[in-house]
Amino acid sequence: MIEYAALIREKAGKLLRDGTVDVFIGYKKGTVPMKNEPVLVSEADKAGVLYWDSHCGLNLCNYLTERKDRIGIIANGCNSRSIVTHITENQIRRDQLHIVGIPCTGIIDHTKVMQAVDQKEILDVWESNDKLTVAGNGFEETFKKKDFLRNNCALCRHRNPVIFDEMISETVKEQKGIEAYADVKKIEEMAPDKKWEFFNSVIKNCIRCYACRNACPLCYCPTCFVDESQPQWVGKSLDPVDTMTFHILRAYHCAGRCTDCGACETVCPMGIPIRQFTKKLNKDTEDYFSWEAGLDPNQRPPLDIYRPNDYNSFIK
């Protein structure tokens, strides 16, 4: 994946020099190992800062909302699906974008790597083919990348971009026959009190920092419901009821829209499996409406249209 970085720099530089785009949105190496950062480049001679490897975990669509300029952007599978959602929801126009597609075989979960090295400080990291090597004071360890992927990446069914103007390289093989909702099905089988107990255990360490909301490409409301004061929908305290209300309402705001990009879990400082809320809604929209978010900019989402064969037994 690292070899893609040079191609990205070359393409971004050309797009900026030719005046095809006003800004190019991509990633740069982070100041901390395994945590690369989004970057906006507006001058061709600064395209050298652009980078790509298995640690580009944040969703770039956060930087698209309501922009008016011409934009170049790197898009793997989940980024491209979020772009489609932004186009569908009129947050950006397709003709503003020059999408540089990039195949992706998964992003590394830095928390899993830290656990594997007993929380030792990692000072350097490099990868080759399917291996990841990390090093610090007095240690160096090599792992198989596939064993340290983010949970959403391990189950990803859309590794290649669904929309693009040009590709960095050939597409990669998609993962077939994956049971994406095995964890959701286990929860569905629980008794109601056990479900409530489970979700209370999920959020028990939440500190209400809103990092999940801030990293989510779908959370672009000018004022979030948690910040409304007239009326005040939910309290600001760490009371479990307020915390649960925040997570449930945020998940429902993402219903039929979530592309399971995993940004929410990537940024959570408490390691909360936030996707347990959104995955249930993703499963329901797929089961009842044959819908996966962000696959086709010309297809309206299930909460936007009515079809005679829609699931409607809840009405009866």
* H or E stretch covering 112: helix 110-116
SS (H, E, C) 227-259: HCCCCCCCCCCCCHHHHHHHHHHHHHHCCCCCC
Total count of residues recorded for the chain: 316
Residue 1 clears pLDDT 80, i.e. is over it? no
Supply the pLDDT for residue 315: 61
Q: In angstroms, rounded to a whole number, what is the distance separating the alpha carbons of residues 224 and 296?
A: 27
Supply the pLDDT for residue 308: 80
Residue 235 clears pLDDT 90, i.e. is over it? no
Give pTM, 2 decimals. 0.92
Report pLDDT digits (tens) over 183-196.
999 999 999 999 99
Helix 240-253 × helix 275-289 angle, to 10°: 40
Supply the pLDDT for residue 48: 96
The conformation of residue 291, written as its DSSP 8-state character, comes to -
Q: Which residues contact 39 (CB under 8 A, 6 or more apart)?
A: 25, 26, 27, 28, 49, 50
Q: Which pLDDT band, with edges at 50, 70 and 90, does 18 fall under?
A: very high
Supply the pLDDT for residue 311: 74
Average pLDDT of the chain is 93
- Do 259 and 75 contact (CB within 8 A), yes or no? no
Residue 144 clears pLDDT 90, i.e. is over it? yes
Q: Mean pLDDT, to the nearest integer, of 132-150?
A: 95
Lowest mean pLDDT among 77-91, 93-107, 270-284, 300-314: 300-314
In sequence order, the β-bridge partners of residue 100 are: 74, 166
Report pLDDT digits (tens) over 49-92.
999 999 999 999 999 998 999 999 999 999 999 999 999 999 99
Question: Quick one: the chain helix, strand, coil %, rounded to 5?
Answer: 35, 15, 45
Residue 292 clears pLDDT 80, i.e. is over it? yes
**Exposure pattern of 121-158 as b/e (b: 16+ CB <10 Å)?**
ebeebebeeeebebbeeeeeeebebeebbbbbbebbeb
State how beta strands 71-75 and 97-101 pair: parallel
Residue 46 clears pLDDT 60, i.e. is over it? yes
Q: Which pLDDT band, with edges at 50, 70 and 90, does 316 fall under?
A: low
Tokens representing residue 24 in the block = 């190019």
